Amino acid sequence: MIWNREMETLGRASLARLQRERLADLVARVHGRVPFYRKKLEAAGIKPAAVKDLADITGLPFTGKDELRETYPYGLLAVEPGKIVEIHTSSGTTGKPVVDAYTQSDVDLWSEVMARTLAMVGATAGDVIQNAYGYGLFTGGLGVHYGARRIGANVIPISGGNTARQIAILRDFGSTILACTPSYSLYLAEVGREEGMDFSKLPLRAGVFGAEPWSENMRKEIEEKLRLKAIDIYGLTEIIGPGVASECERQDMLHVFEDHFYPEIIDPASGRVLGDGEKGELIITTLTKEGTPLLRYRTRDVTFLDRTPCACGRTSVRMHRIIGRTDDMLIIRGVNVFPSEVEHVLLHVEGVEPHYQIVVERRDKLDCLEVRVEMTDALFSDEVKTLEAKEREIEAKLRSALLVHARVKLVEPKSIPRSEGKAKRIVDRRQL
Amino acid sequence: MQIQQISVFLENKPGRLAHVAEVLRDNKINIRALTIADTSDFGILRMIVNKPEAALDVLRHAGFTVKQNVLLGVEIEDREGVLFDIMHLCDVSDLNVEYTYSFVEQSSNKAILFLRFEDPEKAIEVFRAKGYKLLTDEEARKL
């Protein structure tokens, strides 16, 4: 189901025209009202009137997360403080929190893009949406809430945690759509099973999952255990919260709501804009937001864009599910490598468990990548040739996924150090 | 007619073999014969012990990747030329040997050649037809 047929299936030329107008308006607004941006634009020698084409966006300065922290709490406001109706912030676990201040028009926009998101799994006024994202400063809870209200669905604002109560509500209120993080959905499935709950007997049919990275394998597991269709949704506090992009029912990459959030992909090292299909850092410009609009915000999330039409009929550009973070990225002989890609390959090799470590060394001025994989009972053979063949098989699969050669070394089980359950994935020994 | 062998995955670094030996000593398990196949990264320790099930258990418990599989134990005379006889027989019978190692008995002039074949069933037939004595699992434990 398409929530806003007019905007979501707009022809590419009309969409580009709309984006161009909105971009020009945005640049004029931030230049006129946000001293931080005026300074940045002037330093870059950009006059708002000169931004006429969509292509002019590549000349605009980026906005970084650190700049958001430096302007905490109200430094990026583009409206009178009295026009702000709601504030959300990030958790601030890695420094000062980043602030998103919403005007009424921003809350309406948020409701619109979240209604689009929920409609991706066919949500209507008849649905019961169990919203297990946290309510509060975190954007997840209220984002889904506003979308559900816009649709007219029955939203149960249970918020995060309290698993026993989640299970009771799933059973007693007949929830049809579950909204939470993917890992929490698996936890719910586990606790539900222990309590003898048969998910196939519940009216639950869809899940909108986001706010953390997950994988296709996890999707399979969630769909099997909870007996529902799981879609990946994407967003971040700085931009609006959830509602930036979402998979449709085809589960084939996430439609970016680009009439409001304009995406670009850049090489994180050089800042150069990359073409469709090329992996790099996702950049988002908030075309219509009033309270705290952002120019070319560096998300640090890594993905790529695809402009081929989706069979669902929506015309928007799609982005691949988040592949990694720029902070985790390794550059090996000029190729960007992400630990998540290595993990993805290993998950598809029979007998291998995703216990691995990536070791990078520089030998004779060349970067050498070694992937250590823990031996398992299923993998072990008493014949050298079988084990060596396994190493070669994994090497070949890594090579085709990473586009760079990685030497595979089988190591003893539990020999890769684990800290707080999370293994230390990367050892970079390069002395530069 | 096949005998139990224990194989252990070892990383190629100091102290690993010592650790296996320590675990076996602590559990009073006696090694009858052993061999190591090694590459630059890892080694595979293969051995015949008096209590294979217990060995499997304690090594697994100590965190090693361990496998139990079967071999042929052919009793041979302890003299020159016998290895050639066996290998020649394998050759003309089109039997492919994956690996082999041996055990020499102290109290007699007999030796045991342990052989891992691609096709162990066929190998049993070939050796039996030529009158070779094949060790039972029971006998191997008492070596």
What's the mean pLDDT in A229-252? Answer: 97
Please check the confidence at residue A342 and state whether its pLDDT lies above 70: yes
A339 plus A266 within the same structural domain? no
Phi and psi dihedrals of A247, rounded to 5?
-70, 150
Among A377, A381, A382, A385, pick the best mutation site for testing chain B contact (most B Cβ within 10 A).
Answer: A382
Q: For residue A303, give the amino acid letter.
A: T
Last residue of a domain, one of A271, A299, A326: A326
Please check the confidence at residue A420 and state whether its pLDDT lies above 50: no
Q: Spell out the domain ranges in chain B.
A: 3-68, 70-141
A215 plus A165 within the same structural domain? yes
pLDDT classification of A421: cutoffs 50, 70, 90: very low
Look up residue A195 and give its DSSP letter. Answer: T
Res A403: pLDDT: 87
Residues of B with CB under 8 A from a CB of A: 5, 7, 9-11, 16, 37, 39, 41-42, 44, 46, 63-67, 69, 98-99, 116
Please check the confidence at residue A430 and state whether its pLDDT lies above 90: no
* CA gap B15, B20 in Å, rounded: 9
What's the mean pLDDT in A196-214? Answer: 94
pLDDT classification of A388: cutoffs 50, 70, 90: very high
Domain that holds residue A182: 85-326
Please check the confidence at residue A21 and state whether its pLDDT lies above 90: yes
Res A205: pLDDT: 98
A159 plus A287 within the same structural domain? yes
A379 plus A239 within the same structural domain? no
Chain A residue numbers with beta carbons less than 8 Å from the beta carbon of B68 are: none
What's the mean pLDDT in A234-246? Answer: 97
pTM of the model as a whole = 0.73
Res A422: pLDDT: 47
Residues of A with CB under 8 A from a CB of B: 375-377, 379-384, 387-388, 409-415
- Top-tier CATH class for B70-141: alpha beta
Please check the confidence at residue A261 and state whether its pLDDT lies above 60: yes
Name the CATH code of domain B3-68 (choices 3.30.2130.10, 3.40.50.450, 3.40.50.300, 3.90.1170.50).
Answer: 3.30.2130.10
CATH number of domain containing A347: 3.30.300.30
What's the mean pLDDT in A223-250? Answer: 97
What's the mean pLDDT in A203-221? Answer: 91
Q: Which of the given ranges, A77-81, A183-187, A398-402, has the highest pLDDT on average?
A: A77-81
The pLDDT tens digits of the residues spanning B96-125 come to 999 999 998 877 889 999 999 999 999 999
Counted domains in chain A: 2
Pairing of strands A229-236, A335-337: unpaired
Q: For chains A and B, count residue pairs whose Cβ atoms are closer than 8 Å.
A: 50
Cβ atoms of residues A298 and A273 within 8 Å:
no
Report the DSSP beta bridge partners of residue A232: A209
E runs forming strands in A229-279: 229-236, 241-247, 254-256, 261-266
Last residue of a domain, one of A307, A326, A345: A326
Kindly state whether residue A15 falls inside one of the protein's structural domains: no
Q: What does pLDDT average to over chain B?
A: 93
Kindly state whether residue A309 falls inside one of the protein's structural domains: yes
Flag if A377 and B5 touch (Cβ within 8 Å).
no
The pLDDT tens digits of the residues spanning A129-158 come to 999 999 999 999 999 999 999 999 999 999
